[in-house]
Copies of this chain bind each other. A is one copy, B any other.
């Protein structure tokens, strides 16, 4: 195992890790290693033209495998040690609700996703994780049996494809997350569970600490949060989870895969409530320097599986890997195209840009929005509807004109009371 790292000037030489390829996720975490996650595929591929905002389903694994493969490769190159299968929302109940069911089954999409993740993982030091997430069936108040059947169907593909471990992620309700973990546990692989909650807890107000304890008791070896909030908020939520687990005398590993968007004003439902979601979040995008702070803070708190979700581009993951290079002893392959803390600007044409080739400059910069007529914070649209509310029952049809009238009425009301 080569863990040496040679720092030359501002950079360290990039070295690949050998002889460790047989270590699984738990071996790595048990050994105290930092595992770098990948970033979110849904938003990245939406921008590239392969995912449709609204349905958000991953049929591109079948229709445009080259695009999915390329994104996997970029995250691998950025330092990711986990290739998560691009299987978000690919349960049959969701596909049906989103109008994709006629073309491809969940199984078809998920098998293709496994193949792509495995292909790229084999090109570097990465594990493959098969993922399930919250279902429209749960939101529509289907039974535990029905919901569990959905998770089981997805898991069977991952077991057949022999992924390295399983992740139950993006759950707003701890109950559904527990159900998912209970199903995944039957697969015999390590199970990670990640909720899309912040410090206020799940949609019914269950605290991060209590969620954490319940997930560990359900069988997760790794717990944490993903999506919905910015990095610092997510780290804060995982910190609360960790405190809960420790107080309960339990043990777990911790993971965090936040948004790459600043969301300081969000309530418990996260960025989904921001008026800018999903098509005007650009100004909130974190810089690579924000990512350095995030990675450092996550590490300090004791989180060792550190990745990203919506908004993360490969360079964001690379920044995480670069910040933790001293601890990990390796630089990501993609750092051949990046000078630590901007050092490669020494080769820039303009002298004033060359003057920026140093850590102090970027660490202290407060970037301007370039939008003097825009505010810095928005008012989240907190409609206060949770599972059980009629407006959350999922259906197959697009919003009807009548339903839209009702929604616009509610939007108006929410605004005037803000």
Contact = CB atoms under 8 A, between A and B. Distances in A.
A136 B372 CA distance: 36
A349 B94 CA distance: 10
Contact of A367 (B287, B344, B371, B408): B371
Contacts of A334: 49
Nearest to A366: B374
B347 A398 contact: yes
Interface stretch (A105-113, A245-253, A379-387): A379-387
Given A49-B77, A370-B376, A410-B355, A365 B276 contact: yes
A46 B383 CA distance: 40
A278 interface: yes
A353 B399 contact: no
Interface stretch (A161-169, A205-213, A261-269, A302-310): A261-269
A352 B410 contact: yes
**Number of this chain's copies in the complex:** 4
A408 B369 CA distance: 25
Interface residues of A, number: 102
Contact of A381 (B49, B346, B352): B352
Contacts of A350: 272, 392
A313 B48 contact: yes
Given A277-B353, A370-B283, A338 B376 contact: no
A116 interface: no
B49 A369 contact: no
Interface in A19-56: 46-56
B284 A283 contact: yes
A200 interface: no
Given A49-B318, A376-B374, A385-B351, A369 B410 contact: no
A156 interface: no
A102 interface: no
Nearest to A382: B352
B367 A377 contact: no
5 contacts: A136-B349, A264-B372, A366-B373, A368-B376, A372-B377
